[in-house]
Every structure is written in C-alpha cells, then in structure tokens.
Structure 1
Amino acid sequence: MAEQDDWEREFDHVWANSAEHKEPSARARMLAARWRENPPDPAPFRADPDPVGPRRSSWVSTAIVIGCVAAVMVLIGFVQLSASY
C-alpha cells in the first residue's frame, strides 16, 4: 500500500500543474541566455525566402499553353505525314 502511495505522489500531475512557480525548460533557458547577449533579427512570421517577381496575366499564360499544345499537334501531324510516305 505504501508503494502505491509513493507512485501516486510521484506522478501527481494536478499537484505539479498547480505550482505557483514553474521553471522553464533547459532549451528555453539556453535561448534566453543566448538572446540576452545577441538578440535575433526581427523576421515576419513565415517570411518568403525570396521576393516574388511581377506575375504575368492569366491571358499570357493561357496563350503560352495553347501555343505549346498547337505546336505539339503540328509536330505529331508532321511525323505521321512523313511516316506514311
């Protein structure tokens, strides 16, 4: 019975979570010490790695796709025409 009381006392999460003072983790202490001496540069949340250039209009993209499809169709027709001779 005493062993069960030790087990409950050791893993009493309600008691541990109700503590007034909670010690930060080792990583939090390490980062706080590092940033005290050398603070990090400010950066926006999930910043883009590279600025994006100007975008083309959707009509230009559509014309490029249709032109490529037409060129492939002409090439296939030319290959079939030359293979039949």
Structure 2
Amino acid sequence: MPKTDAYEADLLGAFDKGALKSVATKAELSRFKAAARATAVKDKRVNIRLSSGDLQDIQVKALEQGMPYQTLIASVLHKYVTGRLAER
C-alpha cells in the first residue's frame, strides 16, 4: 500500500476518533445506496481460460489490493467497459 502523507494521516486519525460527520442528506444516502446495490449485483457467471502466469500475477495484485482475485478481475472488466481503464 502507498504511504500516507501528513494530510491523509490527519484525516485517518479524525476518522478513527469519530470526529468526522456525514454531510449527506437522507435522500442522498438513499440514492447512493440504491446505486451501490445496482452496481454490485452480479447475476451472470462467466468462465474464462487464463495462462497460469497471468492468473498468478492477478492473484498477487489482488492480494496487494486486499481483495479476492475474482473481484479484481470483475473490477478491471467493469472499468474497461465503462471507459475508465486507461492504457499507459
């Protein structure tokens, strides 16, 4: 994980102490929850073949991100189809 700078460390400290309060209205929170539910619905199963090397690399990346490798694959595919995955 990348190191945090002083500003980020202050924010994390304030969060841990419970000093941060939400400014979202109930209507906004409801809208955000509905959007999250709609985005998180996984209703189709897909089987793909990957090289063992690629799968191992994906599993390492997922471990670094602290998530299951299947979630990482789904996230990368989602970013690609929504145009948010940029080539280097």
Please say whether Structure 1 and Structure 2 have the same fold, judged by a TM-score greater than 0.5: no
> TM-score if structure 1 supplies the norm length?
0.27
Higher relative contact order (CA 8 A, sep 6+): 2
> TM-score if structure 2 supplies the norm length?
0.26
